[in-house]
Amino acid sequence: MSLKQDLFRRPAASWRTWSFTLVCAVLGACGGSVEADAEATQPELVAREDSLANVRLRLMAANLSSGTGQDYDPGHGIRIFQGTDADVVMIQEFNYRTDSAADLRSFVDTAFGTGFAYYREAGAQIPNGIISRYPIIAAGEWDDTQVSNRDFAWARIDIPGSKDLWAISVHLLTTSSGSRNTEASNLVKFINANVPASDYLVIGGDFNTNSRSEAAFSTFSSVVSTASPYPADRNGNTNTNAGRNSPYDHVLVDSDLRAYQTSVVMGSSTFANGLVVDTRVYSPISDISPAVSGDSGASGMQHMGIIKDFLIPGDGTTSSSLTVLSPNGGESWAAGSAQTITWTASGVTSVKVEYSLNGSTWTTLTSSTGASGGSVAWTVPASASTNAWVRVSDASNSSLSDLSNAAFAITTGGTGGTGNVFINEVLINEPGSDVNGEFVELVNSGTAAVDLSGWTVSDSTNVRHTFASGTTVAAGKAVVVFGGASGIPSGTAGAVAASTGTLGLGNSGDTVTVKNSAGTIVSTATFAAALAGTDGVSANRSPDVSSTAGFVLHTGVSSLGSSPGKRASGAAF
């Protein structure tokens, strides 16, 4: 397959009146498809404007085909699309029924709306594509030399404001991390050769990456941001494959678009760093109706959708702006460590930088420093906090400012300091036969929050859970890892589902081990059959919340059979 492209540009005001006639002519030679009604997008565009100056833009990566044919005909993915209401979707395995123009148009109309445009690469068994609320003004495919049944699909989109968005849909190989890095290197070359630096860029799709340390991310980082914080599901899990133990899928944007990232809001719910759409754990599911809880677990559904929202300058934007980049929420920084606060600024000469440990009392780090520098060094204070914030303001106009998108943590614990995390309660023999109800409760009896990022929980054979980046347990609080999301009792504080989908505890006895991110054992306990054989009764420290105490049946310390996320008596931590 050859490189296919047609890069052209007109003043933004003219695109909606004539661009589609020209695009269809161009793409006819490429074998691709673009369909839309430019006028039909207008009411939707206006409805999604947050103000005269700012427009909310929702970007989604979606390999949500199900069934046996890598197809969207079974309808599970369609319901997820309808419930999440994205503006631009980078879609993989873009097949529907016969793949005729009529069938594809029907799919887009049903899943997104009659005003949406789309591009689908031609001649591919499992094609990539772009679906957009806004006009696609150019599109095509770039050659992926590592695979024969799809390429890199791209589209240039006339989003509101003065910049276009270049969206690239990818589906990297499962073969090896080396092959994926080769694909990344080739794609970066195409981007550098064809995408104007002045426009926005997003790369989205199924990367098939087993970890965030793969070389492909370092390669991609030359054109898009690959840094944390990462989108997560309702339980804080950032992994995206069906088993929820690997980060397969991503929405990666360049630095100028990331500066405008904002929380994803779905109905009554807010996700500060973006959303991993797993309907099996999403609650309340009515937020994303008509999606139903079983959609993400449908046969053949191998991936979760990824969503990030951005509040971008629209056509009425003023020339001055400030945006905090880091820390932007979800980070966990060690007290006393050397860190860098970063921001972007436009139309501002000098900025004031402040931080807060409680969200209300502010300490000035610098009253005036050059805005164009975009960063200032910071030695993190020695006080632990789970509600830390950074604020950057125009030094001469305090009304122009920006906060971190969400709180971040300052820790003084870990394996030393004043944090003290240990196994306090384990339910090995779940009530009934639903192994999702198994759990391991960890308690921090220390005086400072502890960063659990990268910590693991194992049974005697395998690692069963890895805590997501940014996970902390406050002093005097607990976190509980359940075998599966469906086993978490309503209202259980600090509960997450095992990232591998199971705890796998043995009813004849087992060993549970907790290790920190360096692989050092923090807490371990072995449970004999006497503590593992009673249906629905956990093993608990006696006395409760004592890191040196032995384990007994929970009925030996209270009248309850178990107390996940609570003290043995049932009282809150």
CATH fold of the domain at 321-411: Immunoglobulin-like (2.60.40)
Q: For position 185, what pLDDT does the model report? A: 96
Task: Please give the C-alpha separations between residue 5 and each of 8, 19, 25, 129, 141, in angstroms, as whole numbers.
Answer: 10, 16, 13, 15, 7
Q: Which two tokens stand for residue 547?
A: 């890191």
Q: Lowest mean pLDDT of 218-222, 239-243, 354-358, 410-414, name the range.
A: 410-414
Max Cα separation, the chain? 77
- Taking the C-alpha atoms of residue 542 and residue 195, their distance in angstroms, rounded to an integer, is 63
Burial class (CB in 10 A: 0-12, 13-18, 19+), 508: exposed
Q: pLDDT tens digits for 252-272?
A: 999 999 989 988 989 888 898
Element (H, E) at 122: none
DSSP 572: B
Domain with CATH 3.60.10.10 in the chain: 58-313
Residue 380: is its pLDDT beyond 80? yes
Residue 4: is its pLDDT beyond 50? no
Q: For position 319, what pLDDT does the model report? A: 56
| Maximum mean pLDDT: which of 83-97, 257-271, 398-412 | 83-97
Q: What are the two backbone dihedrals, phi and then psi, of residue 251, each rounded to the nearest 5 degrees? A: -120, 105
Q: pLDDT tens digits for 407-425?
A: 888 876 444 446 789 999 9
Q: pLDDT tens digits for 444-486?
A: 988 778 888 889 999 988 999 999 877 888 888 999 999 999 9
- Taking the C-alpha atoms of residue 203 and residue 219, their distance in angstroms, rounded to an integer, is 13
- Taking the C-alpha atoms of residue 218 and residue 339, their distance in angstroms, rounded to an integer, is 21
- Taking the C-alpha atoms of residue 478 and residue 565, their distance in angstroms, rounded to an integer, is 6
Handedness of CA 212, 216, 219, 222 (dihedral sign): negative
Beta bridge partners of 463: 458
Radius of gyration of the chain (CA): 25
Q: Lowest mean pLDDT of 12-26, 253-267, 479-493, 558-572, name the range.
A: 12-26
Q: What are the two backbone dihedrals, phi and then psi, of residue 392, each rounded to the nearest 5 degrees? A: -120, 130
- Taking the C-alpha atoms of residue 460 and residue 374, their distance in angstroms, rounded to an integer, is 48
**Among candidates 400, 406, 391, which has minimal Cα distance to 353?**
391
Query: What is the β-pairing status of strands 439-444 and 421-427?
Result: antiparallel
Contacts of 217 (CB under 8 A, 6+ apart): 209, 226
- Taking the C-alpha atoms of residue 170 and residue 193, their distance in angstroms, rounded to an integer, is 18
Q: For position 180, what pLDDT does the model report? A: 97
- For residues 490 and 545, the answer to whether their CB atoms sit within 8 Å is no
Task: Please give the C-alpha separations between residue 397 and each of 67, 111, 343, 364, 369, in angstroms, as whole numbers.
Answer: 57, 45, 17, 16, 14
Mean pLDDT, rounded, for 553-565: 94
Residue 13: is its pLDDT beyond 50? no
Mean pLDDT, rounded, for 169-182: 95
- Taking the C-alpha atoms of residue 421 and residue 385, their distance in angstroms, rounded to an integer, is 17
The listed CATH number (2.60.40.1260, 2.40.128.720, 3.40.50.720, 3.40.190.10) that belongs to domain 421-556: 2.60.40.1260
CATH superfamily, domain 58-313, is Endonuclease/exonuclease/phosphatase (3.60.10.10)
DSSP states along 418-479:
T--EEEEEEE-S-STT-GGG-EEEEEE-SSS-EE-TT-EEE-SSSEEEEPPTT-EE-TT-EE
For 136-172, b/e burial (b = at least 16 CB within 10 A) is: bbbbbbbebebbeebbbbbbbbbbbbebbbbbbbbbb
| Length of the chain as a residue count | 573
Q: For position 418, what pLDDT does the model report? A: 65
Q: Which two tokens stand for residue 262?
A: 């904002």
Look at the block and give the residue holding tokens 């005036």. 368
Query: What is the β-pairing status of strands 117-120 and 129-132?
Result: antiparallel
**Among candidates 422, 379, 385, which has minimal Cα distance to 407?**
385
Q: Which two tokens stand for residue 164?
A: 């276009």
**Among candidates 116, 43, 64, which has minimal Cα distance to 86?**
116
Burial class (CB in 10 A: 0-12, 13-18, 19+), 366: middle
Coil, strand or helix at 26:
helix
Residue 386: is its pLDDT beyond 50? yes
Domain with CATH 2.60.40.1260 in the chain: 421-556
Mean pLDDT, rounded, for 95-118: 96
